Amino acid sequence: MSGAELFIREDLGLSDSHTEVLVGCSNVYMLVSIVAVGWAGDVLGRRATLMLANALLMAGALAMALGGSYAALMAACFVTSLGSGFVPVVVPVYNAEISPASSRGVLSTLLDMFINAGSLLGYVSN
């Protein structure tokens, strides 16, 4: 969001407070999904919860690309944040369930490494 922030502010004519709320809302919205992910993982199963998370991430990204207003971006950010909250909880559990014991630790650690590497690359590319 940091690279697009200036363009969003200019294109939509947002004030500083609107921009701050838009940028910071994803962490607050993730709380909803982090609370619900345990229930979803138990009821739907790990694989179905991962598919739901991927669907939410894709739908949110598409809605952000097509959204032309502040309200549309906030709604799309909410949908994307739901998917983003599911991933760090369900992926390590599912990964530990399906991976062989000899490589379980490495495969479970890769998620954290790639999330941090992706964040770093995102900031560097901006």
Other residues' Cβ atoms within 10 Å of the Cβ of residue 4: 12
Query: Percentage of the chain surpassing pLDDT 90?
Result: 22
Provide CB contacts within 8 A for 47, sequence distance 6+. 94
Domain 1-125 sits in CATH at 1.20.1250.20
| Confidence category of residue 31, pLDDT binned at 50, 70, 90 | confident
pTM, two decimal places: 0.82
pLDDT digits (tens, 9 = 90+) for 38-80: 888 889 988 999 999 999 999 999 998 898 888 998 899 999 9
So where are the chain's domains? 1-125
Closest-CA residue to 94 (of 32, 57, 51): 51
Maximum mean pLDDT: which of 1-5, 54-58, 80-84: 54-58
List C-alpha distances in Å: 49 to 19, 40, 105, 115: 31, 6, 22, 19
